[in-house]
Structures are given as structure tokens and as C-alpha cells.
Structure 1
Amino acid sequence: MIPQNATYHRALQLTSQDQHSYFGPLGYLYDFKVKDDIRKDAFVLTNSDQIEALTYLVENLPNVTFRVAALTEMSASLLSMVRYPNVVLYQNISQERIKELLKVSSIYLDINHYAEVQGIVRKAFEHQQVILAFSHTLHDCHFLAQANIFDQGKEADMVARIQEIYQSVDNYREAVVQQIAQSSSVEPAVFKARLQEGIGGHSE
């Protein structure tokens, strides 16, 4: 039983037809949270002040509030971002406030360099935030639609994509649907049925 759809189809490509019955798709179960409204809030959780294209994004998306949080104290360069009216900084952020920002923000920007903080990308995914990243800052590709991953230096394209997502409720919902579709997400009933089928097939 192979959880990821892409890996399952790759296994079929690499094996003969008479071996295909040995493989089966399984999928993943996610704990999705209901998102009641869409807000022009973008969340970033970081452990450093190395946040790709942050200034560019802030200046070119003045109607989006950028909520940048860190578990520790922030550097002087990051603290200086408060000069922008659409930037809110949270240093020494608590776990409760992180949960709050996951609920209220509609976009997560996976644009911080170095390590991912506390599995935040999956948490943003399960809170049905649209996740965008640069290819060199991306921490977990399983939770992003390909349309939301940008090459280094393509910050203008990211700005355009964010503007497109926020253009209408339908656009936002479609972006979430695309994100979930590529994640190999399945309903609990489907997961259970596939698992039972796989176990039954193996026992035979």
C-alpha cells in the first residue's frame, strides 16, 4: 500500500503489468480545520531574519497584512520591518498565539531560510491556508500545489499569484482544492476501505 499517489503511479511504471496487483494506493488522512472566512493575512514562522523577498512582497502587496513570528527574539534588521504599516511582528511567540495565527491567516509563506519551524507547513495545510514558497526555501513540497512554487528571483510572479488568489472567493477556494488534490488526501472511509482491501489481498 503506497500512500503518495505520485509514488504509486511511478511504481506501476517501473513494474510489469502482471505485478501491478501487488501495489495499491492508500492516501493520507489529514486533520483539516474549517476556515470560516478569508482574510488578507499572510503568516510566516521563522527562526532567522533570512526571509526571502520579504521587503519586496510587503511593498508590492500593501493590502496584505504580513504576520511574521519567531520563537525567539528578533534581530534588529527584522524588527525594522515595523516601519511598514502592513507588517506585524511577533517575537518570543507563544504556542497559543501560533494557533491563533493559523486560524486567522489565509496564506502561509514558506519563504524563511534554514530549518522549518515546528512542522508549520503541514499545520498551515491542515488549516487550509494557501501555501506559497520559493523552490530554494521550500521545506515540504507535499503540501504545495506546483503553481505556488516559484524559482529564485521570481518574486514578481509570487506577488501576481497572491493577487490572483485574493481576487475572489472562488479563486481562493480553487487554490485550496488544487493544494489538497496533489497531497494524496483521502476521506477516512476511503482510507479504511483501501487499507482493509490491502490487508485482505496480502493475507491471501
Structure 2
Amino acid sequence: MINLFERFDLNARTLYDTLRLSKQATTTLVIEDDGFLPEDIVTPYRFFADMEIAPHAKPLYFNEVPIPRFWEIEGNNEVAWVKDMGMTRAKINYRQDQKPRVVSHVDWYDAHGRLQFVDHYTEQGVHFAQSVYDLEGTLILRKYLDQQGKEVIYENFVVRSIILNWKGKTYHFQHKVSFILFFIKALNLTDHRFIINSLGLPYAVLYNLETPGHDLLFWQEQSGGNVPGNMQLMLQGKSTRQFDVVVPDANEYQALTASMTEPERQHVHQAGYLYDYQKKNGYTMNILIMTNSDQIHHLPSIIEACPFATFHIGAVTEMSSNLTVLDQYSNVKLFPAIEIETVNKLYQLCDVYLDINEGGEIINAVRRAFYHQLLILAYEEIAHNRTVTAPENCFTKADGAQALKEALKDIQQKKRFFKVRETYQQQHVNQTDIKTFNALMSQLTV
């Protein structure tokens, strides 16, 4: 089977991991290449540019961005800037899930501070694309370059056309659907079954694919109880290709099917996800907080109320006195200007993550906690990532964190309470097991 995703966002990655962990034999195609995709994924850019990954290639770091002579680069762990005599000429954006200060793209400004173009880089430090904007800041074109700097794909967002230079020939496409159809045919995949997770471009491609087939839509969005028009069209079974719909979210499955006819419901199925956890929870009271803010409400009282716990507090920057004063507690360990190796060790050590700091989330901390199977407890008013944080594990800060303190005491006193909150987390992310998932896939791929 062939996965056809428009983008490799969190939903696509979760589905990709589920299919991989369930040992489903799939090839994954991603239409929009951001330069940081897993090596086994095929994209139009990688295919038509004949992209080869050098064995010892390294990402581009902020101080390696090519700049004109006499210009300077200033940066910190969150962002960097290119300056000319004090004037900002570019913003260097980091890839957040990589090592610190790895460049994903650079925004270049004209003399008036307007966005002019963006240079895009791969995980191997290759300048592979450039996006150009008009004076109003609207994206008008993007060109993709091979490793020799030659233009391979030229996408015009004004007229929505694409030009492809491939194997000595130039191809013109009036719209993106025809371009992706050409891509699929070039890969000789037209006779395969497809898995999509969008009713947008991927569905439009399959709708226009002339060969008959039976495909799957994994519906990962929220419908509000209203069946989308394209899903109704899909389930009518009048097109060349037939579809079944799989809904991982149990609540969304109920909402969708409640608005469907019986013939439509027969082609809609409920399933969950498999997760690639990095470790098992050890049910210890090693607690982790990752923050770049010193505003962590009621933290001293939480520490004092939980002498049985060890609090590991990390920051990618230096810490203010509001945090360093916590060093007076014997059950607190501080890690200012933390290195990525130490971050990895702490996620292996700890079994509880407190998402209670003001300010933004750093280093994808909450999702990282989830994939290391830490129990995530958060302030309701702050929770940075509700996708992986169960509502039952959110507490108000208005009561002086009293409910959070009681929860910490409960999970320390009885492992059963710890497991109950762990179950809340698993149910919230629609976790299933391999046997159940594969039973459904066997039913749908006969």
C-alpha cells in the first residue's frame, strides 16, 4: 500500500508510525518536502532531483549561513539574525526538533524590512528551495534546486502552475493535481492501493486517478458532527476508486456516524494509533520540568509538599535568581543552559512531566515527554500541548496547586493511581494495540 500525505505534520507522522509499528507494508509519499523528512519517504523533489544523501552530511548551523562580506550573524538558542551595520537583513529560523541552532530556513528582508524571499535547507545542510514574495508579503513562487543548484521544479502560486525540468525535458502542468498524477505514474504506482489522511489534495489526486482501486482515508480531523462534502462523495461509491474511512478518534467516530446513512456507516470504521515509545514508565517520582521562563506558579510549595519526589528543572538558557534560589531544596536539581545530551538523559530518568511553566514550550518538551512515556500533569490554564495531555490530568493553579499536589501524593503512595492517570493519557491519544489494529487492516485490505 502507498501512503499519500500532503504534508508530514504531526497527524501524518502519527499515522506513519502506526503503520510502521504494525508491520504494514507501505511506501510513503509526501507532496510538500520540508527538508527534514525520514530517509525512506519519497517526495516529488527527492525523486525528480535525484536526491542523494551523503553518508557524513551534517545540518547547517546558524553561524554557517552564507552572508555578504562585512555582514554579521547574531543569535541565541531560539533565533538568529543577519545584520548589516545594525540593520536586520535576515532572520534565521531553527528546526525545533533537532539539535540546538540547526537551520531550517532563512527569511531575507529588503532595505525596507519587507520579506523578500526565503531560503530553505535540508537536514543535511543543502539549500534545496527558495520561496519568493511580493511587496505585500504574499507567496508568489517557489523553486526547488538539485544538489548542483539547478532548478528542477518551479511552482507559481499566482496561476497555480508547475514547471518540471527532468531528464533533459521540460514539462508544464496547469495545476498541482496533474503534477502529482505524473509523479505517481513515474513511480509506477498507479495499480497500488493508497492510504490518505486528507480530503484535500491527496483525495483530489486519487479522484482523478484513472485506474480502479480500493483506498483508505484515515480521518484525523474534527467534523463537528457534520459529514464533509468530499467524504459524502467518497462514500457514494460512484467514482473509479472505492473508499473505506478509518477514524482513530473514538468521539469523532461517534459524531460522524451519527450523521450518516446506514450504507455510509458500513464503510466507516473506528481504530486507534500505535506509538513509538522510547522507554517504559518506571513509576518513579523523578519529575521533569523544561522551561525558559522563571514564572512557574506555586513551584516552591509543590516542592515542599512533595519531599518524596526529585524535581529536575532544565532550561536552554541561563536561569534567573527566581529559579536558582530553588537550589536550596535538597530534592531539586537545576540544569541551566542544558545540553541536548543531558536533556536525553533526563527524559530517560524521569517518569513524570510537569507542564506548569509560563511562556512558550521549548525543545518540543511535552511531546518529547509523551514519547518517553512520562505521565504529563499540567496546569489547565497553561497546558502547552493538549493533544497529548489528558483533560483528567490538568489542574487549576487558582487553588494554589492544591489538586496537583494531591495528585502527586496519590501516584507516589499507590502505583494503581499512577496507572489510572497513565490510562487517561493513553485513552486521550486513542492508543490501541497491534493485534486490534492489524485485525481491522486485514478486514479492509482483503
Per the TM superposition, whether the score is higher than 0.5 is yes
Q: Tell me the amino acid that sits aligned with residue 135 of structure 1.
A: E
Q: Which amino acid aligns with 1:111?
A: I
Q: Specify the alignment match of 2:374 in structure 1.
A: 129
* Contact 2:396 2:403 survives alignment (8 Å): no
TM-score normalised per structure 1? 0.85
Residues 35, 23 of structure 1: alpha-carbon distance in 2 compared, 3 angstrom cutoff:
same
Shift of 1:146: 2.8
**What is the CA–CA distance in structure 2 between the aligned matches of 1:158 and 1:89, rounded to whole Å?**
21
Pairing partner for 1:169 from 407, 410, 415: 415
Q: Which residue of 1 aligns with 2:360?
A: 115
Equivalence map 1:31-180=2 (5 Å) = 31-35=276-280, 37-154=282-399, 155-180=401-426
Using the TM superposition, give the Cα deviation of residue 7 of structure 1 relative to its aligned residue in structure 2, in angstroms.
Answer: 2.1
Q: Which amino acid aligns with 1:27?
A: G
Q: For residue 44 of structure 1, report the CA deviation from its aligned partner.
A: 0.5
The corresponding residue for 2:273 is 28
Distance 1:16 1:94 in 2: 56
8 Å CA contact 1:70–1:91 kept in 2: the answer is yes
Secondary structure at 2:387 match in 1? helix
Q: CA contact under 8 A between 1:50 and 1:112: conserved in structure 2?
A: yes
C-alpha distance in structure 2 between counterparts of 1:190 and 1:118, whole Å: 33
Q: Deviations over 1:48-70 (max 9, x none)?
A: 11223212211211221111101
- The structural deviation recorded for 1:170 is 2.7
Deviation of the 1:13 alpha carbon: 3.4
Question: Secondary structure of the residue that 1:24 maps to in structure 2?
Answer: strand
Q: Which has the higher strand share?
A: 2
Contact 1:132 1:144 in 2 (8 A): yes
Match of 2:228 in 1: none
How much has 1:88 moved relative to structure 2? 0.9
SS at match of 1:166: helix
Taking only the aligned residue pairs, the percentage that are identical comes to 28
Summarize deviations over 1:109-135 as a string: whole Å, max 9, x none.
011122222222222222222111111
TM-score of the superposed pair, with normalisation by structure 2: 0.42
- What is the rounded CA distance, in whole Å, between the counterparts of 1:7 and 1:115 in structure 2? 29
SS at match of 1:142: coil
In structure 2, the CA distance between the partners of 1:15 and 1:52, relative to structure 1 (3 Å rule), is farther
8 Å CA contact 2:281, 2:351 repeated in 1: no
SS at match of 2:325: helix
Unaligned runs of 5+ in 1: none
Equivalenced residues, count: 200
Distance 1:119 1:194, change over 3 A: farther
The match for 2:254 is: 9
Task: Name structure 2 gaps, 5 residues minimum.
Answer: 1-245
- Return the letter of the residue paired with 1:178: Y
